[in-house]
Structure 1
Amino acid sequence: MTARLVEKEGFAALVLRLRAEGISDIDLLTAVEQTPRSLFVPPQFSDDAYSTRTIPIECGSFLEGVDLAVRILHLLKVKPGQRVLEVGTGSGFTAAVIGRIAERVLTIDRYKTLTANAQRRMDQLGLRSIVVRQADGSNGLQGEGTFDRILVTAAFNSMPRFYADQLVSGGSMIAPLMISEDQCRMVRLTKTGSRFERDELFDVPYLPIVPRLASQL
């Protein structure tokens, strides 16, 4: 079976699972279809690219199952013309999908290896609207203005208000919070003026955020 056929069948099975969950956003699904998932997983895990399993990648990080990734993006509700910040680049898959919808994406990670690999994939796919940067996301990101959407994929102990303050009015942020030592839950904040509406979503497997840039990797 060719790699293209594996991609096509994997995506078709994903769409069926997502539709069973009530996810049928054409723009989002088109962006996912145009972003070959196998490009973002280590070669030895290519058969699992469209599975629900968590896949290990470089620097002790991981790639969440594709169903979870798309489910989160569905809840983020990215629209054309928006500026999006992602904290935790990982493989770069979610940034690549977002970059096919939004006007501009800034994605950051503490690991140089991850950001370099993600940049290589963006170049390979011809995605010019995405800025990949090595940065410490544990204390916010200054000097970048405001964003319509913010997605965080490393867990904080409490909602990172310094990121919430970078949202435009009407903007929203999705971030994982450590509810206990071994439980992490995705939470969404929606900003209206100076007020925030909070929705608790579902448990996720993300790891606690680590401060400072990685010195070796």
Structure 2
Amino acid sequence: MRSNLSEKEGFAALVLRLRADGVSDKQMLLAVEQTPRSLFAPPAFVDQAYAPRTIPIECGESMEGADLALKMLHLLELEPGQRVLEVGTGSGFTAAVISRIVERVVTIDRYRTLSKLAAQRFSHLGFSNIVVETRDGQERSAQEGTFDRILVTAAFEEMPRTFAERLVSGGKLIAAIGSPDQPQMLVKLTKIGSRFEREDLFPVRFQPLLPGCAAVL
């Protein structure tokens, strides 16, 4: 287990890097400070929990580097009272941070193992406003309704219109667009009435969004 001192040092170093990139969202940073990232990292990588590098996790998936994860949350412009959909639960860290700010989080993953482990972490930390589901993230549940914010930690080959339509007016979606073997761009879509404004943010490299639930794991 990472010591409290190392946890504080890792968080402090992360804050300095984020500020250098123009990210100084006090509400979000407080939520991160209250959510020890080392609890979401595999034991072999606990010392790198706050590093900018990608960390491998179960099921052949990965945990985005701390810097990228928090830049995406900053760009979502999270506010109290919002409903947020996250596609790609992974370790559960981003859903945990989001849940400290907003009213409700629905997080989806195609791997049962990842969903189960994330749910255990949420329970251990006392979160009660996160719904964890194992299902195809591209399919819309009749019960889920619409969202103020959507975060997809996977890449689409073209504009994810079906996801954008789940947004309320004024809602925002963050996702990557581009094929697996081509440059990808992280984009922000803002819904204004029946149209969408697109803002290209910066290059990223994500795995493509795969259909269905994983047959194994």
Q: Aligning the two structures, in what range does the TM-score lie when normalised by the shorter sequence? A: over 0.9
| Match in the other structure for 1:45 | 45
Asked if residue 83 in structure 1 is aligned to residue 83 in structure 2, the reply is: yes
Query: Which moves more between the two structures, 97-106 or 199-208?
Result: 199-208
C-alpha distance 2-45 of structure 1, shift in aligned 2 (>3 A): closer
Shift of 1:198: 0.2
Determine what percentage of the aligned residue pairs are the same residue. Answer: 62
Shift of 1:158: 1.1
Q: Deviations over 1:124-171 (max 9, x none)?
A: 111111111101013444431110000001111112111111100011
Asked if residue 25 in structure 1 is aligned to residue 9 in structure 2, the reply is: no
Shift of 1:210: 1.2
Map of 1:160-171 to 2, 5 A cutoff? 160-171=160-171
Gaps of 5+ in 2: none
* Maintained 8 Å contact 1:119/1:132: yes
| TM norm structure 2 | 0.96
| Match in the other structure for 1:193 | 193
Shift of 1:21: 1.1
* Maintained 8 Å contact 1:175/1:186: yes
Gaps of 5+ in 1: none
Cα root mean square deviation, aligned: 1.4
C-alpha distance 100-5 of structure 1, shift in aligned 2 (>3 A): same
C-alpha distance 156-142 of structure 1, shift in aligned 2 (>3 A): farther
Distance in 2 between residues matched to 1:58 and 1:69, nearest whole Å: 18
| Match in the other structure for 2:143 | 143
| Match in the other structure for 2:122 | 122
Distance in 2 between residues matched to 1:216 and 1:150, nearest whole Å: 27
* Maintained 8 Å contact 1:141/1:163: no
Distance in 2 between residues matched to 1:121 and 1:203, nearest whole Å: 31
| Matched residue count | 217
Shift of 1:54: 0.5
| TM norm structure 1 | 0.96
Q: Which runs of 4+ in 1 moved over 2 A?
A: 138-143
